[in-house]
């Protein structure tokens, strides 16, 4: 396997644009879901965010080509699942979301880790990584709930339409930040294990990644000071 070439700093506006659409979806979808005539905009905002994410993936080793190849069936199955046109489409869409988000996480971690200094784009990428990881776990929970109905219970899962992805994304971020409101509760050992793993990562991200960014920023300023001298 050939080694990757050294990358320049993260450039362009791809991560800034992605962050905008991710926040638009995460913040806006809960207000739209209760209204069937408006819920379509929540699904559309997620679809747009997934399309914009293509431009944040590196072209090296054909990662962007893989992202494009995943995105087309993902969106088709997702929209078929919204309207229950094909019985297995919802589960398949959640599986594709999991793989797609996993690819994004891999690409973002590499880009951030190989950035020579902390720039605004690196901060955009780090925030996007955090949000994408939350969406990744939301998809994992949705997959488990489709494979094992009743793996999760709670007031927010009662009387929901078939598509529960938005609700599990909310549960994912609550778990990631270790808030634990109790409005959704794991009911099986497997579901509990997944929640534990996400909560551990949430603490790891805050303690390690943020400290690493601060250390890299201080180091780059120290090196710049030595260069001037």
- The structure tokens 């690196």 sit at 122
22-47 pLDDT, tens per residue? 999 999 988 887 787 888 999 999 99
pLDDT > 70? residue 149: yes
Instruction: Provide mean pLDDT across the span 219-229.
Output: 57
The confidence score (pLDDT) of residue 99 equals 97
Give the confidence band of 53 by pLDDT, cuts at 50, 70, 90: very high
Joined together, the tokens standing for residue 225 give 């000071």
The confidence score (pLDDT) of residue 1 equals 39
pLDDT > 50? residue 161: yes
64-107 pLDDT, tens per residue? 999 999 999 999 999 998 888 887 899 999 999 999 999 999 99
pTM assigned to the model: 0.88
Question: Hey, is 178 helix, strand or coil?
Answer: coil
What is the widest separation between alpha-carbon atoms in the chain? 68
Beta strands in 62-204 (DSSP E): 152-153, 185-186
pLDDT > 50? residue 4: no
Alpha helices in the chain (DSSP H): 14-32, 36-53, 63-82, 89-113, 120-147, 165-176, 189-204, 210-228
Please report, to the nearest 10 degrees, the dihedral formed by the alpha carbons of residues 167, 171, 177, 179 taken in order. 120
């Amino acid at each position: 396997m050939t080694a990757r070439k050294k990358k320049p700093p993260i450039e362009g506006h791809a991560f800034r644009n992605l962050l905008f659409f991710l926040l638009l979806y995460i913040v806006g979808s809960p207000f739209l879901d209760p209204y069937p005539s408006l819920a379509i905009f929540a699904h559309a905002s997620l679809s747009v965010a997934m399309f914009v994410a293509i431009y944040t993936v590196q072209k090296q080793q054909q990662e962007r080509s893989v992202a494009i190849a995943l995105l087309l069936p993902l969106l088709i199955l997702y929209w078929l699942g919204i309207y229950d046109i094909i019985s297995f489409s919802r589960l398949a869409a959640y599986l594709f979301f999991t793989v797609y988000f996993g690819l994004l996480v891999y690409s973002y971690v590499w880009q951030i880790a190989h950035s020579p200094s902390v720039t605004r784009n690196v901060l955009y990428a780090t925030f996007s990584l955090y949000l994408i990881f939350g969406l990744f776990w939301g998809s994992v929970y949705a997959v488990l709930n489709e494979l094992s109905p009743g793996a999760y219970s709670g007031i927010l899962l009662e009387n929901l339409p078939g598509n529960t992805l938005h609700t599990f994304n909310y549960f994912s971020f609550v778990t990631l930040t270790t808030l634990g409101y109790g409005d959704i509760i794991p009911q099986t050992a497997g579901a509990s294990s997944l929640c534990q793993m996400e909560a551990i990562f949430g603490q790891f991200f805050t303690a390690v990644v943020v400290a690493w960014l601060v250390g890299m920023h201080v180091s780059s300023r120290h090196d710049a000071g030595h260069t001037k001298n």
